[in-house]
Structure 1
Amino acid sequence: MWQTDVLQEKVLETLDRQTDIYQYSLRSMAPHPNTDYVVLRSWRNDASKGFSVLVCVSVDQADSPALAAVRGVVLESHYLLESCGTGRSRLTHICRVDLK
């Protein structure tokens, strides 16, 4: 895992080949409590244009047990990965999160 603050993560439900409901929890620095999130995430690839997109937004998943003390809300999260030539890419991330 490249992100050391991730405590747990799991796919709760796969909706199709490019969409799932995903839950993860993040460690917070004291005195803040650890936070978990349940998001609907969907991704698209267009190899001919050289980009990939990942979009996430929080969903209410009543049967998902809390992994941390607080459930945060991802209002919007967009990742755009663009190819910039051989071995190079550009990543743009736009995100609004309510940490509670």
Structure 2
Amino acid sequence: SYTKLKGWTSFGKNNDLDLAFKKLDDGHPLGLWKCSIEIEAPPIEILNRLLNERNLWDDDFQSGNIIEKLNRNTHVYQYTINSMAPLASRYFCEVRSWRTNIQLNTNGSYQNKILSKNLPIGSSSSTSSSAIGSFNSTQNSQQREACVLVCTSIEHPNARCPPKLVRAVTLASRYLIQSYGCGKSKVTHLSRVDLMGRSHEWYSKVYGSILTRSMTKLRDSFVHINTGPETKV
């Protein structure tokens, strides 16, 4: 079952995840997916895991490296992920920009500044506007410390797609990581990725499940399992 709100088709809450889908009117057939989840970790640790520790939460991750550092909070990054046979592995080249220790307000002015800066290539203005609007809708009247990560595919002279791999395109990938206090955070991920070689029907039926599984893996990577003997206090 699902409900609609502000253009979003919501599929409700399942396993503590909220999943929604939105069609965009920019001429590209792929829509925008949104997934939210609470994680037992502060925003800065989650941001670091997204940027530098993908191997801990993405079972399909093969390898990745920074091609060029543009400034302290922006770099160009290339990586490869496995695909289910018989499809070839996917290669990505993205510009990734992030901000830490920001205070979210209710009118979204700071988000607009973050999401439009240092992103010269790759996503349409309508896609970015939709992403910004989605972030704004997650806020309330309280100010909360947060981190933001924005990823978009670009062309780069030093990017080399290995032979037999398929180059995928990240049209939009936005992470908003809000502190909920007591070491907890709410993570909202907006995703619009063209993996190439898939039908529109596949994206409609399968991509949402892939996104929720990825967010679940990210959450579970912070779960600390105590395997030692119990102690009495």
Pick the TM interval, shorter chain.
over 0.9
Deviation digits for residues 17-58 of structure 1 (CA, Å, limit 9, x no counterpart): 000000010000111110010000100112554100000100
67, 77, 80: which is aligned to 2:176?
Answer: 80
Q: Which protein has the larger Cα radius of gyration, Structure 1 or Structure 2? A: 2
TM-score, scaled to structure 2: 0.41
Instruction: Tell me the CA shift for residue 4 of structure 1.
Output: 1.8
Distance of 2:183 and 2:189 partners within structure 1: 20
Distance of 2:179 and 2:161 partners within structure 1: 37
1:96 matched residue in structure 2: 192
> Counterpart amino acid of 1:45?
T
Match status 1:58 vs 2:153: yes
1:12-91 matches, within 5 Å, as 12-47=67-102, 49-67=144-162, 69-91=165-187
Greater RCO between the two (CA within 8 Å, min separation 6)? 2
Distance of 2:182 and 2:158 partners within structure 1: 44
Match status 1:4 vs 2:59: yes
Identity of aligned residues (%): 38
Distance of 2:192 and 2:61 partners within structure 1: 18
Distance of 1:17 and 1:28 partners within structure 2: 32
Instruction: Tell me the CA shift for residue 59 of structure 1.
Output: 0.3
2:134 matched residue in structure 1: none
Distance of 2:71 and 2:93 partners within structure 1: 17
Unaligned runs of 5+ in 2: 1-54, 104-143, 197-233
Instruction: Tell me the CA shift for residue 62 of structure 1.
Output: 3.1
Unaligned runs of 5+ in 1: none
SS of the aligned residue for 2:181 comes to: coil
How large is the Cα RMSD of the aligned pairs? 1.3
How many residue pairs match? The answer is 100
Distance of 1:91 and 1:39 partners within structure 2: 21
> Counterpart amino acid of 1:61?
H
Higher strand share: 1
